Amino acid sequence: MGSNWRSSSVGSCCYECKERFPACHDVCATYLKAKAEWQEKKDIINENRYKDKVFESYHHDRVKKVLREKDNKGAR
């Protein structure tokens, strides 16, 4: 693993934090800010994932229709 393996997780700001204590995530401003930013990124990814699935579904249905029409022409 590289030295930056924690940089993509929400808890990366807590790694080796000197002020850390049990249940500090409830009140730590640094953690709450990092969590909010992480949630925004997560929401954008989920939004785009839905859009991609809609496109994939349309594309899949269109290809199925074209292949079905091609098979029907060959069966005549």
* 31-73 residue pLDDT tens: 999 899 999 998 888 887 777 666 666 777 777 777 887 777 7
Residue 48: give the domain boundaries: 23-75
Q: Contact 65/73 with Cβ under 8 angstroms?
A: no
What are the distances in angstroms from CA 75 to CA 17, 33, 63, 71? Answer: 71, 63, 18, 6
pLDDT at 70: 75
C-alpha 76/C-alpha 71 separation (Å) is: 9
Q: Contact 30/12 with Cβ under 8 angstroms?
A: no
Count of domains observed in the chain = 1
Most distant CA pair in the chain, distance: 77
Say if 7 falls within a structural domain: no
Mean pLDDT within 24-35: 89
Say if 57 falls within a structural domain: yes
- Does residue 3 register a pLDDT over 80? no
Say if 9 falls within a structural domain: no
**At 1, is the pLDDT very low, low, confident or very high (cuts 50, 70, 90)?**
very low
Say if 30 falls within a structural domain: yes
